[in-house]
Amino acid sequence: MVKIGKIELPEFPLLLAPMEDVSDPPFRRLCKIHGADLMFSEFISSEGLIRDAMKSRQKLDIFDYERPVGIQIFGGDEEAMAMSARIVETVNPDLVDINFGCPVKKVVCKGAGAGVLKDIDLMVRLTKAVVNSTSLPVTVKTRLGWDDSSINIDEVAERLQDTGIQALSIHGRTRAQMYKGEADWSHIARVKNNPRIFIPIFGNGDIDSPEKAVEYKNRYGVDGVMIGRAAIGYPWIFNEIKHFVKTGQHLPEPMVQDRVEAARNHLTWAMEWKGERVGIVETRRHYANYFKGIPNFKEYRQKMVTLDAAQDIYDVFDEVLHKYGEGQTV
Ligand SMILES: Cc1cc2nc3c(=O)[nH]c(=O)nc-3n(C[C@H](O)[C@H](O)[C@H](O)COP(=O)(O)O)c2cc1C
């Protein structure tokens, strides 16, 4: 069993990575149903939360069925981070996660996200400000360092642990790498094997199959893995990995009817959450992923992403079922 504060997770838990514009409540609900053990919100700007910006506030929406769930915040100012942690606490998530990994320029320029990797003292101050302002467990997600010549995750992990954080997720890339190249998990393994480190260490980067999850589990010894891109349009990955870890066997692949059901639920839950209009628009970006690999699918996808009425989109799902057969996998 892996523990984060009082949160008890199964052995070798699978975490859904925080992903902007992706890991919202409807998507998280799908991942939960299909086996995610711990999930995170999209990252939320501490300044936005304090300004009470609508976009930031909506990202605080969490539901009981998705627990345990963490809310992720980012920012470069201690006071703003402390205040936003207090705001986060009012919606009662299971934990607060701090993002020190976002490589995007507009975040880094404000000294937030991965920008903080250049200044460990600031990182420590920001983390302390959050830890001291909330009674929730605090966790951190970060990268290996700023660039290849300044990998500092060993020092970062020790110093963050000393602030009182309760788990650390490490994406095995530097900021300079953005999403290019391969994640280098050897640095993550070194942190995990550091005798001073006692908090759970979760590895992140490029897990996209049950085989890889098991291989990395065995090779790098991490306490669990965090999965991002591979879950987009394929929430089944969580249970597939769990089953493979337990039995060494593969679960059958999802059939077309499972894919249709996932897309249908995603749309329904998005509309329930944000209303019909916004739900329809925001779900459009997911369809291509749910139906990846289905031959000659363009015509259907085109309809799904242009139709404006929910019933018309549900009808297209029925057409897809009819055309590609209920029992078919891709
Ligand atoms: C579309 C997208 C949005 C992301 N948004 C966030 C975010 O809000 N917070 C964060 O910590 N990481 C974010 N990330 C990084 C992921 O959490 C994860 O670290 C990265 O995708 C590597 O994991 P993967 O190879 O399993 O995808 C994002 C990644 C993607 C692809």
Q: Kindly indicate the confidence band of residue 305, based on its pLDDT and cuts at 50, 70 and 90.
A: very high
Domain ranges for the chain: 2-247, 256-324
pLDDT at position 109 over 80 = no
Prediction pTM value: 0.96
Helix (H) or strand (E) holding 72: strand 69-74
- 257 has binding-site annotation: no
Which DSSP symbol is given to 229?
G
pLDDT, tens digit (0-9, with 9 covering 90-100), for 233-265: 999 999 999 999 999 999 999 999 999 999 999
Catalytic entry in 17, 31, 102, 226: 102
Q: Could you please report the per-residue DSSP string of 111-174?
A: T-GGGGGG-HHHHHHHHHHHHHH-SS-EEEEEESBSSGGGB-HHHHHHHHHHHT--EEEEESS-
Q: Which of 14, 15, 16, 20 to mutate to test the pocket of ligand 1 (most atoms within 8 A of CB)?
A: 20
Identify which of 152, 214, 223, 227 has the alpha carbon closest to the alpha carbon of residue 187: 152
Distance CA 143, CA 165 (A): 16
Question: Does 109 participate in catalysis according to the annotation?
Answer: no
**How do residues 135-161 score in pLDDT, each as one tens digit?**
999 999 999 999 999 999 999 999 999
Token readout for 86 is 């207090």
Residue 193: Cβ-neighbour burial (10 angstroms; 0-12, 13-18, 19+): exposed
* Topology of the domain comprising 2-247: TIM Barrel (3.20.20)
Does the annotation place 141 within a ligand binding site? yes
Q: 327 falls in which pLDDT band (50, 70, 90)?
A: low
pLDDT of amino acid 162: 98
The confidence score (pLDDT) of residue 10 equals: 98
The arithmetic mean of pLDDT across residues 3-19, rounded, is 97
Return the amino acid letter for 18. P
Q: According to the annotation, is 228 in a ligand binding site? A: yes
Atom 21 of ligand 1: nearest residue by CA position: 228
Q: What is the residue-averaged pLDDT of the chain?
A: 95
Q: What is the CATH number of domain 256-324?
A: 1.10.1200
Residue 326 has pLDDT above 70, yes or no: no
State the average pLDDT over residues 278-299.
95
Ligand 1 close to Cβ of residue 172 (< 6 A) = no
- Out of 19, 60, 95, give the residue to mutate to test ligand 1, the one with the largest number of ligand atoms within 8 Å of its CB: 19
